[in-house]
Structures are given as structure tokens and as C-alpha cells.
Structure 1
Amino acid sequence: MAFLQRLLAGAKVEWLALGNVTLPTSNIRWRDAERAYRYIDLTSVDVETKAIGETTEIRASNAPSRAQKLVEKDDLIFATTRPTQQRYCLIGDEYAGEVASTGYCVLRAKREIALPKWILHWVSSRDFKTYVEENQSGSAYPAISDAKVKDFKIPIPCPDNPKKSLEIQAEIVRILDAFTELTAELTAELTAELTARKKQYNHYRDHLLSFEDGEVEWKPLGEIGEFIRGKRFTKADFSEDGIPVIHYGEIYTHYGAFADRVYSRVRAELESSLRYAQPGDVVIAGVGETVDDVGKAVAWIGAEPVAIHDDSYAFRHSMNPKFVSYVMQTAAFIDEKAKHVSRGKVNRLLISGLEKVNIPVPFSDDPEKSLAEQARIVAILDKFDALTNSITEGLPREIELRQKQYAYYRDLLLSFPKPVVVEA
């Protein structure tokens, strides 16, 4: 804050709507278009990297109806559908003169007033995100109009001295760019390290559970335990207070190898009509968007029973639940499981086939010794799992802290004095 005060040196700050610091843009006239264009649709801009990824080549003969907005270098495009996702980027040389979807608001800076990156950093700010949340409309398909985006006000320092104003903007942009670059480098390093750790962990886990050495018997799941299918409930049944449940979709989007807490609850009135996984059961997703999602398993180690959806199964057995779940994460098990998935619009697990898949049972003739060996292996794998997957410790937590640190300093550097509102 002291730096910002020194930079401004008491200079006036005027808050102007984006519409007042940007230029009008134009749409393509397809009937006059003679060449092919790269089309930037709503999925082209990556939410995380803020960069354009895959685009398609279009001509007048096959252009989608939404392919309308011509963009130039240093234009900022902001997705106005599902705007809280913060899907935006600056147009670089590669896409100058190409076409963007009408799902984007195009912000072209009046360079004598505002730098393109000055607008970029404000669009990335907490204030802008809050503004979007307050001004979007629609629940199923939330959106914000271009006009509303352009109503958002940003500060212009020294409005009466454009040269000094742009110098101040440039200095803050320089610092924020440095923060962005440093954060990106640190995040990339940590992400690469995390990827390497996960690969190392997966290799070690798979080797440990292959039982190339040691006394083990491979038994079919149907011989070890039984599969209990859940009962149906819908999104309309979800409630903040009620019965704890595991929804099949959450198994591959929210859960790791084991869990003792749930992410969802349903209405208490459904209690008698549902089926439950007991503590120690392994809950398995029966359907999924991809073949890998189908059959994803999570060991339920909570203290109480938990309701399960009818597109999932509780595998009830007498083994260590974490051991069974870890086995179900191995590449060998996933390969075998994939043979028992019916593929179509919905990928579905065939339990009659999964029952025949073998898993290792160490010291199968000695239950006590078997459970002790399972527990020993689980203790080793738990340490690896905590290091690689937990958001509260290890590298994922470090990545999250780096990103929060950057956001904190960015918002601090953009903490310009707000105009005083005089009440009548």
C-alpha cells in the first residue's frame, strides 16, 4: 500500500466504466469473406492457463452461427456464459484477425487511456469476479451481458495527464506480470514434481500389490465378498441437512482411495427407502463418463453407514477395505475391469464380469496373518497417498498457497481509493 501511495503521489484517480476505456469492435461479414479463419469458441480458452488451445478452421460455407466477432492483437476476450469460471485471455499475434464466438465480450483498449494488460489484470481481480457474480442472470445457464461487463469500473490514475497515467499503469502491470510469471514457474515446477511423485507412487503401489514375491493367492472378487447395489435418489433429493450419501459421480470427481466423510446429503424422509454401505465396504461407481471412471472405488471408513446411489455398488467383504481399494487403483486391475464395461452413451459396469476379476489375498490360509500383512502394506501406501493426493499437505497444498499468494498481492496492488459516495 505504501508503494501504491508513493506511485500515485497524491494524484487524482478517476473510476471509469470499461465501456469508456474500450473501443467498439466489429463482426465479420461472411458473405464477403474469402479466406479461412481460426474459430475461437468457448472451449478454446483454457480456464487455468488463460491461453487459447484448440481452435477449428472455418469458412463462410461451414461457419457456426456464433462465429461472428473479429478480434485483433491485444484484445481481451471474456466469456459471458458461465462467467464465474473466469474464462478469458489476451489475443496474441497468432490469432490476430481471427473470429471469436459471440459468447465472448471483446474489450479493445483505448490505448491513450488504458493499457490492454491494465484491463487484463482488472478482469482477473477479485472485485471483477464479485461484480460478475452479482450481475449474472440465470441459474441453469448463468450469463452476463456485454453491456454489464462494460459497466464495470476500473481506476484511471492521473486522468488529466495521460502520459503519467500510462506510466503508472505500466509500472503496476510490470510488477503483476512478474508475479504472474514467477507464480506460473513455481506452479509448473511443483506440478511437474507432483506428477513425478504420482508416477513414482503408482509404480511403487503397483509393484507392491503385484506380489511377485511372497505367499499370496489370487481370488475372484465374487468369492471374497458380495456386491450390493444402491437405491436411486435424484438431484432434487439433495439437502444440506439429512442422510449422508455417496453419489456415483462423486466417486471419480471428489474421492480418493478412501474416505471417512461425505460431500452430499439427501432428505431424511428417504432414510427407509435407501441402501447403505457399511463401514469397511468399498463403494464402486457403476457408470461413468469415461471407461476409466467406471469402476472407480473408494473405501468407506467412516463410523456410520452411508447411503449409496443405484448406479454404484457396495462391495462387502472381510478384508482390509483400504487394501482392497488400493488394489482396485492398480493398472493391472483397471485393465481387467475395462473388459467388463459396456460401452455406449453411458459406460456401465457389468458386475457379473467384475465378480470374476481376481485380486491378491496374502496368506489366505491364515486370516490373522493375512490382515496383518494387508495392514502393513496399507500403512506404506497411506504415506504415499497423503504426500501425493492430500490438499492439506504436500505439494498440492503448496501449489494452492502459491496461487493464493499471487491473488493476494495482485488485489493489494489494485487497491485504488474508491470514490466517496455522498448520500443525499
Structure 2
Amino acid sequence: MSRLDELIAELCPDGVEYVRLAECCDIEDNKRKPVKSSLRIPGDTPYYGANNIQDYVEGYTHYGQYVLIAEDGSASLENYSVQYVDGFFWANNHVHVIKGRKDLDTKFLYYYLTSFNFIPFLTGGTRAKLNKGNMEEIPIPLPPLAVQQEIVRILDNFTELTAELTAELTAELTARRKQYEYYRNEIMQLKHWHDRKTITEMSLGDIYDFQYGKGNVIPTNGGEYPVYGSNGIVGTHFEYNSEDAPVIGHIGAYAGIVNWGYGKHFVTYNGVICKLKNNSVHSRYAYYLLLLQDFRAQAKSGSQPFVSYEILKKPRVLIPPFEEQKRIVAILDRFDALCNDLTSGIPAEIEARQKQYEYYRDKLLSFKEVTA
């Protein structure tokens, strides 16, 4: 038996009592309005809103161990915003500030609420709200403190290990991406090519016809063809306007990002269609030439960033003989495939670890209710 099993068998073999949150928690008055970012005085104290730390400021509203539950504005209803704070902090009025009383460990309360389904307790139309009255009715289990503290110890260790693994995997992914980009850029500079006389210089405008995509609204009527916006697939459509060609983000936060559109696909106005017009340039080699450009840095900023035809056409690039292009493409496509395997595999591993953590957390925090 584990230490937790022993404690449960000894201290609460028949189940635990559930009580209203208002009966086991202190609920702090929190009537402060949010402070506009322009009026906040920079400092070391975290400033909390509904979904996380928004800023670091001078002064504080609370000190100690607390749980912050979104009053409104939570980013997700299924995973309602719950935060744990230990120390000095500033909380605005978009969060409820609570802590456990002497028979309820506040960290245990936090872990329990992160697995709790808040939806039946929410009100509001377009913006869900957890009012104080409904929050007070949330049922909280009260196992003996020794049981609570053992569960906190287990979940703290699990959280720490998960965070360490996530950091390691993320660092590995970042390193591999940088390594790939380094070799791609080295190869595309053609320093290895022995016969410089066979290299042609031309502009991207000599290689591609650039055309903004069609439609400001993402098609929603479905279809067999993927829809590309400014940064990858955003839907499907029954029409297509490009095939096996790059798509460049045209406008908005992803202006200048280059993706490859596989097969027949539809490009919205948020993307740029790239039509190859020069038969002396391999289609994938031309794509890798686009990846060498820093279009994002050149994106003009009016009301929002965008890349113009002028920006896309202007860069001068080097073109080796067609057979050498094919050889380079074969190398880079293998690199690209390896990088994509990592890009999909590592986030999947991180997600699997998170699901594993949530499974064990929910299992640890499921208690049989004691019967009278």
C-alpha cells in the first residue's frame, strides 16, 4: 500500500464529508477595480486578472497562500481559470480571492478546483460569470489534513516532474529547429558550388507571380480542399485556387510567414498565392528561397502589418543548375521531414504527459462521500 492508501484506510475508510465552499473557506472582499496598464507603477508584485499575471506592479492587495477563481472572463469554460498564489500579490475584481480555513489546506483546495466542473455554477449570456453566491455553494471534500497534505505532496512532485520534462522537450525542439534552419541557410547560400559561372541571379518577382487570396471570410461550408489563411490550415472548402505551392501570410499578426500548401487548396485574402512562372527553377527550391527571406521584418505596419507585392518581388536570389536544385531539395526535404516529425511528436508527448497528470490528479481527488 502507498502512504496515501494507508492514511485513507486509517483516517477515512468510510468516505469523507463534503461541505459548501462558504463553510470551509475564507472569502476575501475584493472590490478593487482593474488598474489601467498606463496607470500601473512598475514593480515586483504580480498583478492578477481572470486568466493569469497581467503585469508586475508596486504595492499589493493580499499576502499569503490563496486561490484565485475567475469571476468573469475565464478563457475556457471547460477548464475554468483557477490560480494558486503564495506571497505578495495584487488582485483585481475579476477574480474571487479565497483560502482554506484550519481544516482545509489551501494548496489542496487549489488542486481540487482545477479538476472541478464549474459550468453548472456559471451564469451570464455571452460572458460567463461565477458570482459569489454560486461560488459559495460549490461542494468541497474535507478529508483529514494528513490526507490532504499527502495528496498535495504527490501532485507537487508530479507537477514539478511534468514541468521539467516539458522544458526539456521544448528546448530539444527549439534546438532542432535552429539546427535545421542553420543547415538550410548554409546550403542555400551555395558556398559549396564549384562552378560559380553557372549560377544565375534573379529576383523573386522573376520566379513567382504573387496574388492575394480570395475572400475576407474563412469558408464555412466545408468541402474536400484545405483552406489556408495567414499561417496554415484554417478550414475546408469545395473550391481551390492554388496547388502544391507556398502560401505567405499577407496581413495581420502572421504577415510574412511562409507555409507550403500541399495538394489542391484554397487561399483566403489573409494569404498570398505563389504561382511559379519560371521553368528553370524547381518548385520546392523556389519555396526554400522564400524561407530565406525575412518578410515578417519587412511587413509594413499601418493599422496592422502586411506584406506588399513590392516586398515579395524585390529580393535577389541565386539559382544553380536545375540538377543541383533537385539535389539540394532532396536534402532539405529530408531535413524538413525530420523537423516536422519532431514538431508534431514533441508537442504530442507534452500533451500526453499533461493528460497523464490530469488523470492521476482527478483520481487522487475523487472521494467517496461519507453517508450519515
TM-score (norm. length: structure 1): 0.72
Cα contact 1:277–1:314 (8 A) shared by 2: yes
Using the TM superposition, name which of 340-349 and 315-324 deviates more. Answer: 315-324
Aligned counterparts of 1:217 and 1:382: Cα–Cα separation in 2:
25
**Counterpart for residue 7 of structure 1:** 7
Aligned counterparts of 1:133 and 1:417: Cα–Cα separation in 2:
22
Aligned counterparts of 2:365 and 2:141: Cα–Cα separation in 1:
9
Cα contact 2:228–2:261 (8 A) shared by 1: no
Using the TM superposition, give the Cα deviation of residue 402 of structure 1 relative to its aligned residue in structure 2, in angstroms: 2.1
**Which residue of 66, 71, 77 maps to 2:68?**
77
**Counterpart for residue 326 of structure 2:** 372
**Counterpart for residue 260 of structure 2:** 299
Cα contact 1:323–1:378 (8 A) shared by 2: no
Does residue 156 in structure 1 map to residue 156 in structure 2? no
Aligned in 2, Cα 1:375/1:40: closer, same or farther, shift over 3 Å?
same
Aligned in 2, Cα 1:136/1:224: closer, same or farther, shift over 3 Å?
farther
Does residue 231 in structure 1 map to residue 214 in structure 2? yes
The secondary structure found in structure 2 opposite 1:11 is coil
Using the TM superposition, give the Cα deviation of residue 118 of structure 1 relative to its aligned residue in structure 2, in angstroms: 0.7
In the TM superposition, structure 1's runs of 4+ consecutive aligned residues that sit over 6 Å from their partners are none
Aligned counterparts of 1:373 and 1:223: Cα–Cα separation in 2:
22
Aligned counterparts of 1:205 and 1:86: Cα–Cα separation in 2:
43
Cα contact 2:15–2:369 (8 A) shared by 1: no
Where do 5+ consecutive residues of structure 1 fail to align? 31-35, 46-51, 59-68, 158-164, 256-261
Cα contact 1:230–1:310 (8 A) shared by 2: yes
**Which residue of 335, 344, 351 maps to 2:302?**
344
Aligned counterparts of 1:4 and 1:109: Cα–Cα separation in 2:
21
**Which residue of 223, 231, 235 maps to 1:242?**
223
**Which residue of 266, 274, 277 maps to 2:242?**
277
Using the TM superposition, give the Cα deviation of residue 53 of structure 1 relative to its aligned residue in structure 2, in angstroms: 6.9
Aligned counterparts of 2:82 and 2:350: Cα–Cα separation in 1:
21
Q: Name whichever structure is richer in strand by fraction.
A: 2
The secondary structure found in structure 1 opposite 2:64 is coil
Using the TM superposition, give the Cα deviation of residue 103 of structure 1 relative to its aligned residue in structure 2, in angstroms: 1.0
**Which residue of 350, 361, 368 maps to 2:319?**
361
Aligned counterparts of 1:320 and 1:401: Cα–Cα separation in 2:
39
Letter of the structure 1 residue corresponding to residue 203 of structure 2: P
Letter of the structure 2 residue corresponding to residue 299 of structure 1: W
Residues 251-277 of structure 1, C-alpha deviations (whole Å, 9 max, x = no match): 1xxx3xxxxxx44135x6xx5xxx612
Does residue 217 in structure 1 map to residue 200 in structure 2? yes
Cα contact 1:176–1:410 (8 A) shared by 2: yes
TM-score (norm. length: structure 2): 0.81
RMSD over aligned Cα, in angstroms?
3.1
- Between the two proteins, the alignment pairs up a number of residues equal to 349
Does residue 265 in structure 1 map to residue 236 in structure 2? yes
**Counterpart for residue 156 of structure 2:** 177
Cα contact 2:4–2:147 (8 A) shared by 1: no
Aligned counterparts of 1:324 and 1:339: Cα–Cα separation in 2:
20
Where do 5+ consecutive residues of structure 2 fail to align? 34-40
Aligned counterparts of 1:184 and 1:178: Cα–Cα separation in 2:
10
**Counterpart for residue 132 of structure 1:** 118
Cα contact 1:25–1:106 (8 A) shared by 2: yes
Aligned in 2, Cα 1:403/1:338: closer, same or farther, shift over 3 Å?
closer
